[in-house]
């Protein structure tokens, strides 16, 4: 099965930690963008200005939803990375116990 491929659970745990840090930054970004609003008058006084402003509002709302979705994605990714790394550690421990070797990496 494994042709010299080795998995480093610590690297996966480290990636999970980085993903969690990114997840923690998302609410700060969302709060900063919540207060960034362009007033309707900034789009001018021509009849098309109302359409531009409506389009802007629609895109701004969609961006807020995207930020919420990103936060959920990052949280899920961090949880899955931790689970995967935990499974590698558990499998390696079980293999060591099964073989009675007590050491070494298990190729995957």
pLDDT exceeds cutoff 50 at 1: no
Tokens linked to 13: 């745990």
- Residue 26 CA to residue 19 CA, distance in Å, equals 11
pLDDT tens for 34-52 read: 888 888 888 888 888 999 9
pLDDT for position 95: 84
Query: 42-91, pLDDT tens digit by residue?
Result: 888 888 899 999 999 999 999 999 999 999 999 999 999 999 999 999 98
Name the more confident of 3 and 15. 15
8 A C-beta contact, residue 1 and residue 24: no
Residue with tokens 């960034």: 36
Residues with Cβ < 8 Å from 64, sequence gap 6 or more?
30, 33, 34
Q: What is the pLDDT of residue 85?
A: 95
What is the Cα–Cα distance from 102 to 99, expressed in whole angstroms? 8
Query: 3-state DSSP helix/strand/coil percent for the chain, to nearest 5?
Result: 75, 0, 25
């Amino acid at each position: 099965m494994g042709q010299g491929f080795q998995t480093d659970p610590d690297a996966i745990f480290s990636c999970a930690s980085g993903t969690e840090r990114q997840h923690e930054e998302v609410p700060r970004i969302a709060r900063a963008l919540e207060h960034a609003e362009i007033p309707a008058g900034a789009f001018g006084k021509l009849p098309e200005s109302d359409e531009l402003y409506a389009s802007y509002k629609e895109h701004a709302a969609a961006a807020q939803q995207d930020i919420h979705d990103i936060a959920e994605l990052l949280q899920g990714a961090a949880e899955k990375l931790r689970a995967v790394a935990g499974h590698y550690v558990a499998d390696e421990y079980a293999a060591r116990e099964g073989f009675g070797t007590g050491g070494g990496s298990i190729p995957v």
